[in-house]
Amino acid sequence: MEPMLVRDLDAVRRRRAELRESIGLLQAALQASSDRPVVWGEGVQLAVNRLATDFADHVDVTEGPAGLHENIVESAPRLSHAVGALTADHELLEAEVNALLGAVEPPVMLADVDAIKQHSDEVIEHLVKHRQRGADLVYEAFQQDLGAGD
């Protein structure tokens, strides 16, 4: 495997781990007691902010100049449709994360908690599926497993 691709895959692995960690932080924040919704909402907001940052970093490393997606299309043009689907996922996920950021703007009231939990669960589910499709694509393109440790 060429050295540049190895660096690209290492960067993707790091971003993937960061994204998984921020998903876990959001899950933990959601499971905290919501008896004090304003405080609960602040914790969820911090977790969603971290998730948004880590997701943006993920997009940069995959879609950026000389990023992973470009390498995949150059190495395996047959996978260009799958790369396009993941890129489209990025746009949808970014919109979902931004909507979630808006939903957790302080102050969060008790009436908001269930909707925020449901919305968060949907975003998490979409992110998990996206991560799996991305790992499957990398494996198909380069026979490299990104999922170790997940």
Instruction: Please tell me whether the peptide bond between 37 and the residue prior to it is cis, using omega within 30 degrees of 0.
Output: no
Label residue 115 exposed, middle or buried (CB < 10 Å: 0-12, 13-18, 19+): exposed
Give the pLDDT score at 5.
67
Give the pLDDT score at 37.
97
68's CB contacts (< 8 A; 6+ apart) are 8, 9, 11, 12, 61, 62, 138
Label residue 33 exposed, middle or buried (CB < 10 Å: 0-12, 13-18, 19+): exposed
Model confidence over 97-146: pLDDT tens digits? 999 999 999 999 999 999 999 999 999 999 999 999 999 999 998 886 66
Model confidence over 52-111: pLDDT tens digits? 999 999 999 999 888 899 989 998 999 999 999 999 999 999 999 999 999 999 999 999
Give the pLDDT score at 117.
98
Give the pLDDT score at 147.
58
DSSP type of residue 36:
S
Give the pLDDT score at 3.
46
CB of 87 closer than 8 Å to CB of 63:
yes
Q: Which position has the higher pLDDT, 2 or 52?
A: 52
The predicted model gives 29-53 an average pLDDT of 97
Label residue 138 exposed, middle or buried (CB < 10 Å: 0-12, 13-18, 19+): buried
Distance of CA 76 to the CA centre of its chain: 24
Q: How far is CA 76 from CA 61, 65, 140, in A?
A: 18, 17, 9
Determine the Cα angle at 122 with ends 19 and 125, to 5°: 50
The predicted model gives 40-52 an average pLDDT of 98
121's CB contacts (< 8 A; 6+ apart) are 30
CATH of domain 3-142: 1.20.120.1730
pLDDT at 24 over 80: yes
